[in-house]
């Protein structure tokens, strides 16, 4: 029997599973976490994702207790590993930012950022995914596909959830 696939999980996958309910994005995210819990997959959570999850849940719910409970619940799931950011991840994230975000403006040495570029946390998530052999980075963000040096998939693709024709955002902003 082959070893379970390693999946580096982005913030939006967790938020979609814990905060959203029943829309197209959340179904794949919930199933992905179920497969991690069962041991079909090994979930890797980069430390910046944990901080971002806390912030997003707190901002969305205005409830610090719920934000804490969300993190505790997540960290107690079986087959979840936390990966701290190390120096080589920071260097790889810098390369990923250069690969995906920035274009020369032609004015001196300034760089211009595309409006749909990657955040620092996104770049770190991708860098951690790139550092783990045969891992895939799981995100509901389409812009992750801009980075060709990292294998990325959406939760529903990894979990095998059928697309039921819902819009990716479930009709919500």
Q: What is the pLDDT along the chain (173 residues), one digit of tens a residue?
A: 789 999 999 999 999 998 766 777 899 999 999 999 999 999 999 999 999 999 999 998 999 999 999 899 999 999 999 999 999 999 999 999 888 865 544 444 555 555 557 889 999 999 999 999 999 999 998 888 888 899 999 999 998 876 554 444 333 32
Distance of alpha carbon 41 from alpha carbon 112, whole angstroms: 38
CA 132 – CA 120 distance, rounded (Å) = 19
Q: Which residues neighbour 1 within 8 Å (Cβ) at sequence distance 6 or greater?
A: none
Give the ranges where the chain is alpha helix by DSSP (H). 11-18, 24-38, 47-61, 64-76, 87-100, 120-131, 155-159
What is the model's pLDDT at position 99?
A: 83
Task: Give the length of the chain.
Answer: 173
> pTM for this structure?
0.84
Homologous superfamily of the 5-84+133-159 domain (CATH): 5'-nuclease (3.40.50.1010)
Q: What is the rounded distance in angstroms from the CA atom of residue 82 to the CA atom of residue 87?
A: 16
State the pLDDT at residue 115: 53
Task: Work out the number of other CB atoms within 10 angstroms of the CB of residue 130.
Answer: 21
Torsion of CA 149, 151, 155, 157, to 10 degrees: 130
Q: Give 85's Cβ-side CA count (13 Å radius).
A: 20
Which pLDDT score is estimated for 122? 94
Q: Name the phi and psi angles at 111, rounded to 5.
A: -110, 145
């Amino acid at each position: 029997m082959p070893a379970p696939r390693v999946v580096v999980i982005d913030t939006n996958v967790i938020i979609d599973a814990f905060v959203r309910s029943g829309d197209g994005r959340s179904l794949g995210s919930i199933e992905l976490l179920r497969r991690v819990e069962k041991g079909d997959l090994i979930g890797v959570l980069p430390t910046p994702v944990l901080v971002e999850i806390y912030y997003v849940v707190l901002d969305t719910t205005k409830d610090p207790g719920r934000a804490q409970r969300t993190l505790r619940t997540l960290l107690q799931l079986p087959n979840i590993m936390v990966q701290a950011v190390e120096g080589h991840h920071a260097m790889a994230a810098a390369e990923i930012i250069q690969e995906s975000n920035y274009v020369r403006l032609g004015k001196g040495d300034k760089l211009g950022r595309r409006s749909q570029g990657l955040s620092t946390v996104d770049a770190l998530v991708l860098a951690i995914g790139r550092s783990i052999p045969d891992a895939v980075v799981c995100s509901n963000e389409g812009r992750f596909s801009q980075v060709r040096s990292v294998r990325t998939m959406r939760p529903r693709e990894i979990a095998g959830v059928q697309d039921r024709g819902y819009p990716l955002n479930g009709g919500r902003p």
